[in-house]
Amino acid sequence: MTDQTRETTPPLPAGATIGILGGGQLGRMLSVAAARLGYRCHVYEPGARPPAGDVSAALTTASYDDTAALRAFAQAVDVITYEFENIPTAALDLLEAERPIRPGRKALATSQDRLTEKRFLRELGLSTAPFAAVDDAGDLDRALDEIGAPAILKTRRFGYDGKGQARITRPEDAAQALAALNGAPAVLEGFVDFTHEISVIGARGADGQISCYDPGENLHRDGILHTTTVPARLSAAQRTDAVLIAARILNALDYTGVMGVELFVTPQGLIVNEIAPRVHNSGHWTQQGCAVDQFEQHIRAIAGLPLGDGQRYADVTMENLIGDDVARLPALCGEPATAVHLYGKADPRPGRKMGHVNRIQPARR
């Protein structure tokens, strides 16, 4: 890009306030990164004692239909970002009238609905699992005829960590799968026979500059991310393909900020599973692998600062600490070359993300 075409909006000044919708661990780590760059964060979260509240300059505890609280929040901040994608549309309409929301509405509208997202990816010429919209039993029968089993029925909205999904191993499982989703609008996806799963964490600055992190290889347990390892098992060509796919998506959405792109690796090429318009659990390794991690990169992008050096300087395995895993804290603290990140959550319920560790080694290449 030449200097003539570069956007000239000045970056957010030191001391400016970034509003974050959602007060979970992603908001917490965004807030810490923002503080390192001299910004203040104001978190908006309906739940009590959110992890991000402990490390932010201000916290609003209110629901997403509290218009007075939303307006006061917007007026107290300079720019608004978010750590989850299921923000109600009416709240976004209100907020957007007051302050810029980054990443913008197109990314949110696309990723809030699996069907819209899959159609968008196909229109870009990218590969996805075969899919069909399912609103009732008749649709599901037709979709199964077309796509075949095994397949996965997924709700169009509000799915995360494998929730809102039902496997269909044989056509006879159809009624049970439909019942499991409680009649929610859904998408049937053909089962992808992948060798492994990877993700690319990509960033796009306000000026259109793009920087993608090295793809990470993801292992799930019980539908929840267990580990991300860099480098992923990929050929040089696959690595390039993965990064180009992420860049295509970022540009098409005219995106500002960090995005997670999950991909299936198959002998026929890379298949896009889903996109997340935010910092991503599979990008936590960047905290120890890179000079500028995904959280700082996101803050830089939405603040209008130049993106930082996202090159990988170490081999890293990130392991999530789920539920009682956090009881291993003393042993983890004693491990060499291991960084521990806890989210400040009091109650280690099964399936709850309590923290993560990054284990590092010098980069092999």
- With a CB cutoff of 8 Å and minimum separation 6, the contacts of 179 are none
Tell me the chain's radius of gyration from C-alpha atoms: 20
Does 224 interact with ligand AMP (rule: CB under 6 A)?
no
Among the listed ranges 65-73, 169-177, 189-197, 293-301, the one in contact with ligand AMP (CB under 6 A) is 189-197
Does 159 interact with ligand AMP (rule: CB under 6 A)?
yes
Does 258 interact with ligand AMP (rule: CB under 6 A)?
no
* Nearest approach, Cβ of residue 194 and ligand AMP (Å): 6
For ligand AMP, the closer CB: 222 or 309: 222
Binding to ligand AMP (CB under 6 A) within 262-321 occurs at 262, 273-274
E strand or H helix at 58: strand 58-60
Among the listed ranges 48-56, 184-192, 298-306, 335-343, the one in contact with ligand AMP (CB under 6 A) is 184-192
* Nearest approach, Cβ of residue 232 and ligand AMP (Å): 14
Question: Alpha-carbon distance 108 to 116, whole Å?
Answer: 11
Question: CB–CB of 79/222 below 8 Å?
Answer: no
* Nearest approach, Cβ of residue 233 and ligand AMP (Å): 16
Among 72, 104, 127, 191, binds ligand AMP (CB under 6 A): 191
For ligand AMP, the closer CB: 107 or 272: 272
For ligand AMP, the closer CB: 192 or 363: 192
For ligand AMP, the closer CB: 129 or 279: 129
Does 214 interact with ligand AMP (rule: CB under 6 A)?
no
For ligand AMP, the closer CB: 57 or 192: 192
Among 37, 69, 192, 340, binds ligand AMP (CB under 6 A): 192
For ligand AMP, the closer CB: 189 or 315: 189
Q: Which alpha helices (DSSP H) does 48-113 contain, by range?
A: 67-76, 89-98, 105-111
E strand or H helix at 295: helix 294-303
Does 197 interact with ligand AMP (rule: CB under 6 A)?
yes
- With a CB cutoff of 8 Å and minimum separation 6, the contacts of 284 are 29, 228, 294, 318, 341, 356, 358
* Nearest approach, Cβ of residue 130 and ligand AMP (Å): 9
Among 220, 221, 226, 328, binds ligand AMP (CB under 6 A): 220
Residue 234: which region, alpha, beta or left (left: phi > 0; alpha: psi -120 to 50)? beta
* Nearest approach, Cβ of residue 160 and ligand AMP (Å): 7
Query: How many residues of this chain interact with ligand AMP, rule: CB under 6 A?
Result: 13
Does 152 interact with ligand AMP (rule: CB under 6 A)?
yes
Question: Alpha-carbon distance 180 to 173, whole Å?
Answer: 11
* Nearest approach, Cβ of residue 215 and ligand AMP (Å): 14
* Nearest approach, Cβ of residue 365 and ligand AMP (Å): 27
* Nearest approach, Cβ of residue 141 and ligand AMP (Å): 19
For Cα atoms 209, 251, 215, give the angle at the middle one, nearest 5 degrees.
Answer: 75
Question: Alpha-carbon distance 239 to 221, whole Å?
Answer: 24
Question: CB–CB of 356/38 below 8 Å?
Answer: no
CA dihedral 299, 24, 83, 19 (to 10 degrees): -60
Give one DSSP letter per residue of 221-273, joined into a string.
ETTEEEEEEES-S--HHHHHHHHHHHHHHHHHTT--EEEEEEEEEETTEEEEE
User: How far does Cα 332 stand from its chain's mean position?
Assistant: 26
For ligand AMP, the closer CB: 159 or 257: 159
Question: CB–CB of 310/290 below 8 Å?
Answer: yes
Applying CB under 6 A, the residues found at the interface with ligand AMP are 129, 152, 159, 162, 189, 191-192, 197, 220, 223, 262, 273-274
